[in-house]
Amino acid sequence: MVDKKDKKEDKELNLDFGIGSLGLGGLFNGIEKLVDLAAELKEAGGEIKNEGEIDLGHLKEGMKGVFGFSVKTAVGGTPIVEPFGNIRKTPKGPIVEEEREPITDVFDEKEDIKVYAEMPGVNEADIKLDLKEDILDISARTGNRKYHKEVLLPAKVNSETLTFSYKNGILEVKIKRC
């Protein structure tokens, strides 16, 4: 028999990501469905953006699960599905990592390549950038906020021309093309 307190707690743990309400027990199955939905959307050529945050303090104090994805249309009309957050799909099922993957946008312009990354809650001094050939590694750590992402750049760049600015949680990186 379940008492009223248990029912109340169960209602508070139910989440809805647009694919139905999920109790904590089915949470990871729901996240896996989101990842699969994003892949299906890529194949279908649609457009969608969705995200959610899950309090996982019962696993580790202060830990939150963040997952989202955006779908963008590339040159030629091919959709690109880009996941972000700290929940990853593995062959054994979804896992929650301490680092979040920031959502990023890459713009290939005539003379420059610009990369924008959303990383709220960190200080500019905590951001580290590493450029090796055509891969830009972005990371930041402040308290319980940890971000990391490797970005494949669309062209060769001159690493000596890398500049960046950070304002209101948005990192802007600018690099001259070779």
Q: In what order do the strands lie in the sheet with 112-118?
A: 104-108, 112-118, 170-176, 163-167
Mean of the pLDDT values across residues 2-31? 48
Residues 6+ apart with CB under 8 A from 49: 68, 69, 70, 71
Q: Are 65 and 54 in contact, with CB atoms under 8 Å apart?
A: yes
115 and 82 housed in the same domain:
no
Q: Are 174 and 112 in contact, with CB atoms under 8 Å apart?
A: yes
Residues 75-104 have pLDDT tens digits of 566 666 667 777 777 788 777 777 888 889
Residue 39 has pLDDT above 90, yes or no: no
90 and 133 housed in the same domain:
no
What does the block give as tokens for 24? 């904590």
76 and 117 housed in the same domain:
no
Portion of the chain with pLDDT greater than 70, in percent: 53
- CATH number of 133's domain: 2.60.40.790
pLDDT number for residue 43? 59
Query: Burial code of 122-155, b = ≥16 C-beta within 10 A, e = fewer?
Result: beeebbebebeeeebebbbeeeeebbbbebebee
18 in the Ramachandran plot: left (φ > 0), alpha (ψ -120 to 50) or beta?
left
**In angstroms, rounded to a whole number, what is the distance separating the alpha carbons of residues 32 and 46?**
19
9 and 93 housed in the same domain:
yes
pTM of the prediction?
0.59
Q: Nearest-5° angle of CA 107, CA 128, CA 173?
A: 20
Residue 10 has pLDDT above 50, yes or no: no
pLDDT number for residue 173? 98
Question: Nearest to residue 89, comparing CAs of 120, 60, 65?
Answer: 65
Residues 106-158 have pLDDT tens digits of 999 999 999 999 999 999 999 999 999 999 999 999 988 899 999 999 999 99
27 and 87 housed in the same domain:
yes
85 and 128 housed in the same domain:
no
Mean residue pLDDT across the chain: 74
Residues 6+ apart with CB under 8 A from 164: 127, 129, 171, 172, 173, 174
The identity of residue 168, as a single letter, is N
Name the domain count of the chain.
2
Range of the domain at 130: 102-178
